[in-house]
Amino acid sequence: MSDLHRINWNLLVYATQKKHIAELLDEFVEPQPNIPANNRWQYLFPFLDAFYKEQTVYFAVAKLFNRVISVIPLVETRQSKFFIHWHELGVPLHPHINMIVLSNSPDHSNAELHDQLLQRLQQESFTWDRFAIRNIATSQCHHGEYAGEKAWFNTAEDKPLNTLISKKLHRNIKRLKKRLQEKFPETELQVNIQAEDIEQALSEFIALEESSWKGEQQLAIANCSTTTQFYHDLMIQFSADHHARIYVYKHQNHILAAALGFKLGDCLYLHKIVFDKNHSDLAPGSVMVAEILQLALEDDSIQRVDLLNYPAWLNRWHPSNSALMNLVTYNKTLKGRSLYLTIHAWRFLKPEIKQFIDHAGNFSRYGATQYRRLESRVKAARLPFDRSI
């Protein structure tokens, strides 16, 4: 009998077994200390208390010979898309859960672990049309749906920064840093680690983010009291063991940029980065990130800097990248099969619908005759035709 058949999945109720779940999560992290924050009770408990306190939350725990190899939270939610409504069971689908590790053992297929978990869940009274575990790190999942990319930098070797990032970008950052320091002399990067420093730095981070475009679009931490409390609680939890990090790039009391993250094992995770929009021409955010990378190169305890996603601005930095995957299963009920067909039909037709809408919009702007004439001329010249005009 293979090891896989000896794996035992069990379900625990978060509200009544919180202490035991925390112990199991600590046991899960122990073999791989660089497991991300999203997999730790110091993150998950404040997250669930903030955003899922009115729901019943379960933790699925997989053990192999009494060794914990997987611990994930599960919630039942009601989802909708257009006129379709369905019940979804799985890891919480939320912007603050952006990457997880499904297993702490590379010896086990996550697809098979997923299938065994589903078999266990079918023994319970859950009502679900779709089951999903999202944003799984690629090194832990080789099957499933593509969910996006994450960027990271290998800082294991003490080498010049211009060999880690784009040489052209490095020259630009040096030039911008010189201009920045001419305008703001004695600018420094503060690294906040101690609990008493983290609290003050978090207030500064939140204030700067609120003044940025995120605040204008109601996406900042300060725009929601629940989110504010969540960040306060999780940073206090992580600072107790000196895992929290808040970088503040400032001139006297003027904060130009800041970054919030966690140092876990030999990895530095940067979860959020903000900068003063009034000085965006001097790129204080980029200058700060370059200094953080330089510190990581000089620190033997940091082998990797991980940004958890891949925003467009990182393209110029030439980072390493890894894919994130989703494991998604549709129930074999009539509702589950109908949902599968509907969603996959929509994914197939969406590009065609968008192209049709863009095409129709161009017709209305230029008129059918003029639009076809323009398109034919571009095609005759063998140039790419931009249908968004």
**pLDDT of the residue at 112:** 80
Are 370 and 378 in contact by the 8 Å Cβ rule? The answer is: no
**pLDDT of the residue at 346:** 80
Give all strands (DSSP E) within 171-282, no chain letters: 188-192, 244-251, 254-264, 267-275
List beta partners, residue 70.
62
Least Cα distance to 136 among 327, 343, 264, 268 occurs for: 327
Low-confidence ranges of the chain (pLDDT < 50): 1, 374, 377-379, 381-389
**pLDDT of the residue at 388:** 30
What structural domains does the chain harbor?
3-150+324-331 (3.40.630), 156-302 (3.40.630.30)
Least Cα distance to 105 among 8, 176, 169, 29 occurs for: 29
CA-only gyration radius of the chain, Å: 24
Q: How many CB atoms lie within 10 A of CB 369?
A: 9
**pLDDT of the residue at 158:** 85
Longest pairwise C-alpha distance within the chain: 73
**pLDDT of the residue at 362:** 58
CA atoms within 13 Å, Cβ hemisphere of 109: 11
d(CA 199, CA 239): 9
Span between the terminal Cα atoms of the chain, in Å: 62
**pLDDT of the residue at 387:** 34
d(CA 56, CA 74): 9
**pTM across the whole model:** 0.87
Are 87 and 76 in contact by the 8 Å Cβ rule? The answer is: yes
Are 147 and 121 in contact by the 8 Å Cβ rule? The answer is: no
Inter-CA distances, 197 with 182, 227, 240, 242, Å: 28, 20, 12, 11
pLDDT in tens, 2-17: 555 578 999 999 999 9
Positive or negative, the Cα torsion across 198, 204, 206, 212?
negative
pLDDT in tens, 359-383: 666 555 556 565 565 455 444 544 4
As to burial, measured by CB atoms within 10 angstroms (0-12 exposed, 13-18 middle, 19+ buried), residue 235 is buried
